Amino acid sequence: MLQRKDHCLLRTFDGETLRIMPWGPNALRVQAWIMEEPPVQAWALTESPEPSQPRIDIQGDTASILNGKLRIDVDEFGRLSFYKEDRLLFREILQKRVKKLSEYTNPLQLTGREFKGNINGDFRLTVRFEPEKNERLYGMGQYQQDTFDLKGSSLELAHRNAQASIPFVLSSLGYGMLWNNPAVGEAHFSTNQTIWLAHSTKILDYWIVAGDTPDDIVQRYTAVTGRAPMMPDYAMGFWQSKLRYQTQEEVLQTAREFKKRDLPLSAIVIDFFHWPHHGDWDFDYDYWPDPAQMCRELHDLGVKLMVSIWPTVEKDCVNYPAIEEKGLLVRSERGPNITHSTRGDTQFIDLTNPDARRFLWETAKKNYYDKGVDCFWLDEAEPEYNTYDFDTYRYYKGHAMQISNSYPVEFAKTFYDGLRAQGEEQVLSLVRCGWAGSQKYGALIWSGDVHSSFRALREQVVIGMQMGIAGIPWWTHDIGGFYGADVRDPAFLELFARWFAFGAFSPVFRLHGVRSPRLEPLAEKRGGMCSSGSPNEVWCFTPEIEMLCSQLIRLREALKPYIRSLMAQAHEVGRPVMRPLFYDFPHEEKLWTVNDAYMFGPDMLVAPVVMPGVTEREVLLPQGCDWIEASTLRDYPGGQTVRCPAPWSVIPVFVRKDAENLARIIHTYMPLP
């Protein structure tokens, strides 16, 4: 039966209810369930959509719903077809014998919406579409690959260290789709069919929007999932980090050295095992004797302090009895409740539980924020299980198979809500994972523990663009990579120089990583038992590296007014800071394939060097404007490919002719030798 109800189109047939409703301009939300309607969760669609009046037309056993540019037709079999201004975008698969022998028939018995019952009473949900073969697809978050156009890709809808699954995809046909379901699953963008799969869920829920440009689509998407706060001013500068500052005095000496060298420093980061035990969420005072004094001195130097928080808890920590009694831990369905092991067997605090969020924030506030710590590094945010057997774990809000992908959102929300309650307006947390909507909780997502290699560098350039399309404008990476770097290796120094330059033109400019040879631990227990890596400050490599990095740090400081304008756009309309060339020039077909250059805001085209042994590279300049090569101040008409010099000291950057002042700023700090 088809009916109109409260601006929605409803279809009920054979135990399934299908509901299609307007959800913002040019957008529709599709939901379906079997038998009794389950409790409907907002999940990523937390922001109230702009009201709209759809046109619903029911003709016997067929119907259509039109909202602005987007229309969905429902045929007599319940199959959905999606149109943008009468152009078919895609439709559900229907491969079964039909009543009319004159129509195409196929006996495979596959349908567009398939609910298969699981033993636990919920469903394995498969949604199948017939796609347009010639479309290109982008977004979906952070996968460690350099695949740019996702057409033909298969992606796991689950989080891992260095993988953040954000299920929003943008099509070159002029639409975007959000899979609004945090269940563990899969997405397959094959040429013959598109499949979205949730291994265990109660309801189908996705959102479609049509738009004329990628910018229009991303703005609509972030309007219903939320936008980042205004980035704090300090976060737009240079961040110093390493594995790991072992003592309070080491942190202060590093900050003092930046001041002595007259190098701008915005933030310094204290990494893991500054605590006695997992779950203490406090300093080990043998090595950090007076955190409040440390914060005061850093603030006097103009430096903010970030401290690492892990959601891990071990039985020896001071908080374990209270956490266990209150039932605030993620549980294992079978076997021992040990879910992670890094220098001790631990469990994860269950941040889907509001009591757990409250407990973690109150502890962090007392031990860190009240002593002057400015912001927090929310590590292990996937969370990173010993084994990613999601069917093993259960949260307060539901089974891990059904809700696991929402965990990093809850982690970010914990500190966003806590800091906002203290009167902080511009909240930022560095988070190792995220899902759709994380951006509205001040999540600065970084790409995890990636390898120190040119392959990883190439992947980070692509990931940064995909994250921007997926609604995450605050994104960063470990400059130089996290694992596998030896400071004595000339090949690493070349990689480091190239990666540092890429970092200077990233949304957040942050140095981090393990550097070999490793240092010895300070002690055999508590906060001293974890070793560190070799020094990771810019003056600790070679004089040439120090000079190059120092100039880039000063350049970043000079570019802060421009970066501030980009962050304001991200906050106000959801526009990504780092984005593909086609985002600003969507009508140039060739730009939809460029995966090694990007726009840094509307006025800068950045073309990092991502291969070893290279001293020049080709850059495709978009049509419609003239460009200035920043390192030489040479003018080039758009619409051509140019070969430009790229010694270690230069990252190719081209600036629109009408933003010539930016080119001159860059040239001051990065002239061609």
| Tens-place pLDDT, residues 366-410 | 999 999 999 999 999 999 999 999 999 999 999 999 999 999 999
Please compute the mean of the pLDDT values over residues 353-363 and round it to a whole number: 98
Say whether 280 is catalytic.
no
Average pLDDT, whole number, for the chain? Answer: 96
% of residues, the chain, pLDDT over 90: 92
% of residues, the chain, pLDDT over 70: 98
**Marked catalytic residue, from 122, 271, 284, 382:** 382
**Interhelix angle 454-469/490-504, nearest 10 degrees:** 20
Query: Are the CB atoms for 515 and 485 separated by under 8 Å?
Result: yes
H or E stretch at 31? strand 27-34
Say whether 284 is catalytic.
no
**Cα distance between residue 245 and residue 266, in whole Å:** 17
Say whether 379 is catalytic.
yes
pLDDT digits (tens, 9 = 90+) for 509-525: 999 999 999 988 888 88
**Marked catalytic residue, from 92, 216, 271, 379:** 379
Query: Are the CB atoms for 562 and 603 separated by under 8 Å?
Result: yes
- In the predicted model, is pLDDT for residue 625 greater than 60? yes
DSSP 8-state secondary structure symbol assigned to residue 232: P
**Marked catalytic residue, from 314, 384, 449, 478:** 449
Summarize the chain as % helix, strand, coil (round to 5).
25, 30, 45
Please compute the mean of the pLDDT values over residues 563-577 and round it to a whole number: 98
Question: What sign does the CA torsion over 407, 417, 304, 474 have?
Answer: positive
